């Protein structure tokens, strides 16, 4: 079986998933299983027509909010995939790309990328790391949607959004890394056939665990002789090697890859003495320290000489914004949740995980870990309300199901495709998928460096919640697509 080397390298990185890890927080129970003896109704499809201005171009487009049934070999419907497709109207341009997008979680619906970044409408929540407050939340035109350069299909995997198992099938059948990828691959092949787009340029993209899914889906699409060849893969807030962040005694790499994110966070919250002119400069300093003196010191374990320990501790204090006394007590190893609690303890505040720009206040200030993540509860209400309102009104999708924002937890080559490139977007203030971890993973596995583009943003995991970075992300991806 032929297997492209980039897909192989990316997929190989996903095999480091020894156990599930939720890159995005807020897990909730999946929707109640349908009555297995009830006849399966026809899939629900709603088609509406709209116009909008995207990237400065006026576009008329068709929006299709629909269920696609995944079927067994005997034709029995097993699961329903909910998707929303946006396709430019008018004469079909054979060179117009189509981009398939999903989120992560694992177990997350695609509402984040849909209503936050690339859909024709978006929810307007505060851009400056403030809480989104109470409804109503404004749903506004999104000039940063990519519809001027590509058609877009937002996909909710089984057990997320309005997607669900059918009949006697259990949703968990689709919750393994491979089974999840196979279901998305099956959906994409079906969509291409039904829309006659097999020869269109194709892009695949995900956020957070969706980047892991992208690698696995790329393998399912391009790993056989009946390829669905891809032109590019979009990795937004990347996590490909979960072992780097495994909370296992003796795993020193977790401290190494987290350190640069601690540095950018300390920089943002003004906890760095004599800071350099830019966060980019401080991030590079932290990279050099983390992969050099810090990694060397950690590797020595209890054989680390006292003098070297003192030198490293002083530098570590500068990059983390934490006191040397605290670092000494922590044995030079600070886990992320301790950092979230400790950095602003003197101000009586904690910081977010998904986006460390956000701050919160715990029940008390004495604990070791934060009570919760202010960067998740600061946005979740707005996105959930917006997707439900938009789908049921503007898109005309009728269902009695509840949209599952974060649902069931999952169990958890380039030289042969010279046109495949990889776009990587990372936020400086993201602790769910630290930027140094993405750099580390993508510099290994045989992926040619000249096929990978890195782009950085002054926000966190969902960098598009910041207005300036949503616009920058849109420009960067638009240029990536046009550059083919």
Any idea what the CATH number is for the domain that residue 460 is in?
Answer: 3.40.50.1820
Q: What is the pLDDT of residue 244?
A: 82
Reading phi first (left if > 0) and then psi (alpha if -120 to 50, else beta), residue 13 is in: alpha
Better-predicted residue by pLDDT, 410 or 305: 305
Give the rounded percent of residues in the chain with a pLDDT score beyond 70.
Answer: 90
Predicted local distance difference test score (pLDDT) of residue 394: 96
For residue 271, the model assigns a pLDDT of: 98
Range of the domain at 257: 248-374
Distance CA(406)–CA(30), nearest Å, equals 8
Give, as one character, the DSSP assignment of residue 404.
Answer: B
Are residue 28 and residue 159 in the same domain, yes or no?
A: yes
Shared domain check, 119 and 265 = no
Where is the domain boundary, 374, 409, 428?
Answer: 374
Domain termination residue (choose one: 339, 374, 409): 374
Q: Are strands 359-360 and 151-156 parallel, antiparallel or unpaired?
A: unpaired
Task: Say if residue 77 is in the same domain as residue 196.
Answer: yes
Identify the band that residue 408 occupies on the pLDDT scale cut at 50, 70 and 90.
low
Tens-digit pLDDT profile for residues 48-85: 999 999 999 999 999 999 999 999 999 999 999 999 99
Query: What confidence score (pLDDT) does residue 430 get?
Result: 97
pLDDT of residue 3: 39
Q: Are residues 183 and 234 in the same domain?
A: yes
**pLDDT (tens digit, 9 = 90+) per residue, 120-145?**
999 998 888 888 889 999 999 999 99
Same domain? For 399 and 476 the reply is: yes
Dihedral angle over CA of 367, 371, 375, 378, nearest 10? -130
Residues 335 and 409 in one domain: no
pLDDT in tens, 308-332: 999 999 999 999 999 999 999 999 9
Q: Cβ atoms within 10 A of the Cβ of 313, count?
A: 16
Point out the domain boundary residue: 374, 404, 432.
Answer: 374
Residues 104, 10, single domain; the answer is yes
- What does the alpha-carbon distance between residue 13 and residue 20 come to, in Å, rounded to a whole number? 14
Q: Same domain for 43 and 133?
A: yes
Mean pLDDT of 233-241: 94
Angle between helices 306-320 and 279-289 (to 10 degrees): 160
Instruction: Clarify whether residues 85 and 21 are in a common domain.
Output: yes
Contacts 24+ apart (CB under 8 A), 291-294: 291/256, 294/255, 294/256, 294/259, 294/332
Q: Is the pLDDT of residue 31 over 60?
A: no
Pair 101, 175 in one domain: yes
* Predicted structure pTM score: 0.90
Mean pLDDT, residues 444-456 taken together: 87
361 and 462 in a single domain? The answer is no
Same domain, residue pair 385 and 475? yes
Total domains in the fold of the chain? 2
- The Cα 206–Cα 156 span in angstroms is 11
Backbone phi, psi, residue 456, to 5°: -125, 150
Position 217 scores a pLDDT of 96
Query: Contacts from 185-189 at CB under 8 Å and sequence distance 24+?
Result: 185/217, 185/220, 185/221, 185/228, 186/70, 187/68, 187/70, 187/81, 187/83, 187/155, 188/100, 188/217, 188/221, 188/228, 189/221, 189/228
């Amino acid at each position: 079986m032929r297997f492209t080397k980039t897909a192989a390298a990316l997929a190989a990185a996903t095999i480091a998933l020894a156990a599930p890890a939720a890159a995005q927080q807020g897990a909730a129970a999946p929707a109640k299983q349908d009555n297995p003896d009830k006849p399966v109704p026809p899939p629900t499809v709603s088609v509406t027509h709209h116009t909008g201005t995207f990237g400065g171009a006026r576009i008329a487009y068709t929006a299709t909010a629909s269920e696609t049934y995944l079927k067994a070999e005997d034709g029995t419907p097993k699961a329903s995939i909910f998707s929303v497709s946006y396709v430019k109207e008018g004469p079909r341009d054979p060179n117009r790309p189509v981009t398939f997008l999903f989120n992560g979680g694992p177990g997350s619906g695609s509402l984040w990328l849909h209503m936050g970044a690339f859909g024709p409408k978006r929810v307007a929540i505060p851009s400056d790391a403030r809480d989104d407050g109470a409804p109503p939340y404004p749903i506004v035109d999104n000039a940063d949607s990519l519809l001027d350069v590509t058609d877009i299909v937002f996909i909710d995997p089984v057990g997320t959004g309005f997607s669900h198992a059918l009949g006697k099938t259990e949703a968990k059948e689709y919750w393994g890394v491979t089974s999840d990828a196979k279901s998305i691959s099956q959906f994409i092949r079906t969509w291409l056939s039904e829309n006659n787009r097999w020869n269109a340029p194709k892009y695949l993209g995900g956020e957070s665990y969706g980047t892991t899914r992208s690698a696995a889906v790329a393998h399912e699409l391009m790993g056989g002789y009946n390829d669905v060849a891809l032109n590019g893969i979009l990795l937004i807030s990347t996590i490909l090697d979960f072992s780097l962040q495994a909370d296992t005694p003796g795993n020193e790499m977790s401290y190494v890859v987290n350190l640069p994110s601690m540095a950018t966070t300390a920089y943002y919250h003004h906890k760095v003495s004599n800071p350099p002119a830019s966060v980019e400069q401080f991030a590079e300093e932290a990279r050099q320290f983390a992969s050099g003196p810090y990694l060397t010191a950690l590797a020595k374990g209890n054989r680390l000489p006292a003098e070297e320990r003192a030198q490293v501790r002083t530098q570590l204090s500068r990059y983390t914004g934490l006191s040397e006394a605290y670092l000494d007590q922590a044995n030079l190893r600070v886990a992320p949740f301790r950092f979230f609690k400790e950095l602003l303890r003197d101000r009586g505040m904690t910081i977010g995980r998904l986006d460390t720009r956000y701050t919160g206040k715990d029940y008390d200030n004495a604990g070791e870990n934060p009570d919760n993540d202010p960067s998740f509860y600061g946005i979740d209400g707005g996105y959930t309300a917006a997707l439900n309102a938009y789908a049921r009104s503007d898109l005309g999708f009728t269902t009695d199901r509840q949209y599952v924002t974060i649902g069931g937890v999952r169990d958890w080559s380039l030289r042969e495709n010279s046109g495949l490139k990889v776009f990587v977007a990372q936020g400086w203030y993201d602790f769910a998928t630290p930027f140094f971890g993405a750099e580390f993973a993508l510099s290994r596995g045989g992926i040619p460096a000249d096929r990978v583009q890195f782009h950085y943003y002054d926000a966190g995991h969902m960098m598009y919640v910041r207005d300036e970075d949503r616009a920058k992300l849109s420009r960067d991806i638009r240029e990536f697509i046009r550059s083919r």
